[in-house]
Amino acid sequence: MILRRIADALRRQDWVTVLIEFVLVIAGVLIALQVNNGNEARAAQARLDRYVDELRQDLAAEREEMLRVQQTAIERHAALSYLLGEAIDWSMPEVIVRFGEDLVIDPMPGVEVETGQAIFNEVLTLYTFDGQRHTFDALTNTGEFQLFNRRPIARDLRAHYSDISAFQDFESNYLLPRYLGVFEQLHENGIARFDEVEVEALLAVVRDDPQLASRLREFAILTDVQYRRLIPLIEETEALAARLEALQ
């Protein structure tokens, strides 16, 4: 209809009408574009809000899991320290020299150690961190992470999940092999995971088997490392959750 009116006006050389019709066409296109852009912006914001909420839920679950892993590490370290202290008079060193660098060891939080079968059970209780990165992986795999790209938190989210991967590599490559090594050495002494083992019998085995004692010492030190490496990760998790909340 508009094109017909413009054509008629051109034939009549009615330039005012032609100008008015062109202005109306351009205005209509601009309004349509603005409405479309507004709809797209609202849809993008809705998707962003949904992802922010899901990320916050993931971070909350991460934090709870980290705290659970930490608490288990505290209890395991206390049991290991008791066992090694009673058996071979060993205590956690204050400084560890590693690759020419001094690693200062602060005392871990203390917990009361139950003697008897509980010592054996605590020594062999290990939780590792699985993590909750479903939303982050979905964002990166689908390209939806672009919703965060112009925000400083995008860089920090990537850094956080890189730190998580590094921590999980530590558990897989260092902590877990030492844990399995303790099992192997206990089997050499005829002790299985679900045996009933009195603490005095366990102390005697540790005293008589230097290899078991050395594996337990390594396991105790790496248990301390597991606990300490979780401290900055928990702080990161809490800070990111607070910043995500501010985006909503």
According to DSSP, the residues that pair with 95 across neighbouring strands are 104
Write down the pLDDT at residue 99: 56
Q: Sign of the C-alpha dihedral, residues 30, 35, 37, 38?
A: positive
Q: Mark 127-147 as b/e (b = at least 16 C-beta within 10 Å).
A: ebbebbbebbeebeeeebbeb
Write down the pLDDT at residue 234: 96
Q: How far is Cα 178 from Cα 215, in angstroms, rounded to an integer?
A: 7
> Would you tell me how many other CB atoms lie within 10 Å of the CB of residue 170?
17
Q: How far is Cα 167 from Cα 13, in angstroms, rounded to an integer?
A: 77
Write down the pLDDT at residue 138: 87
For the chain, the domains span 2-247
Write down the pLDDT at residue 32: 47
Per-residue pLDDT tens listing for the chain (248 residues): 555 655 554 455 555 554 555 655 565 555 545 644 455 555 566 787 888 899 999 999 999 999 999 999 999 999 999 999 999 999 888 877 765 667 777 778 877 887 778 888 999 999 999 988 888 888 888 888 888 877 788 889 999 999 999 999 999 999 999 999 999 999 999 998 888 888 899 999 999 999 999 999 999 999 999 999 999 999 999 999 999 888 76
Write down the pLDDT at residue 10: 45
Look up the pTM and report it. Answer: 0.80
Write down the pLDDT at residue 33: 55
